[in-house]
Structure 1
Amino acid sequence: QLASSKEQILGQIAMAEENNIGFMMMMARSLLDLGKVTSLEEIFERVRNTSSLDLQTLANEMFNTDEMSILMMHS
């Protein structure tokens, strides 16, 4: 399933490249987030080299329950 997800992401990136505005938006986001424009080859390589452990680590960082807050509403 990870392999097919990677292929889908690579396909979406390739399609974005064909759309000039989409490609410019992707490059602008890279510049804002990383401080540099990441080449397509580098993006493809990083996607291909991403492991399930990488994704699990990221998920644990993003959804760290110790840093989450809960909002409860009572009506």
Structure 2
Amino acid sequence: RIPRIDAFRVGGLIYLFEYATALAGEIMDINPFDQPGVEQGKRYTYGLMGREGFEKDAKEAVEFFQRALARTLMV
């Protein structure tokens, strides 16, 4: 729980999310801040949500995350 909402705490929260995004990108070996990375993330998300037409992306996302997890656990 955040005791109060002020510029310092909101800035810290934004930093936390940016750091988590960068860390996830490093683990998955992608640049989450460039446009191709953003578009691929959208396709993976649509596929994992079950959106019609993105079934191949869902399968690819699952395989990708399994490889990333295996690579992370080997470190």
TM-score normalised by structure 1 residue count: 0.35
* Rg larger for: 1
TM-score normalised by structure 2 residue count: 0.35
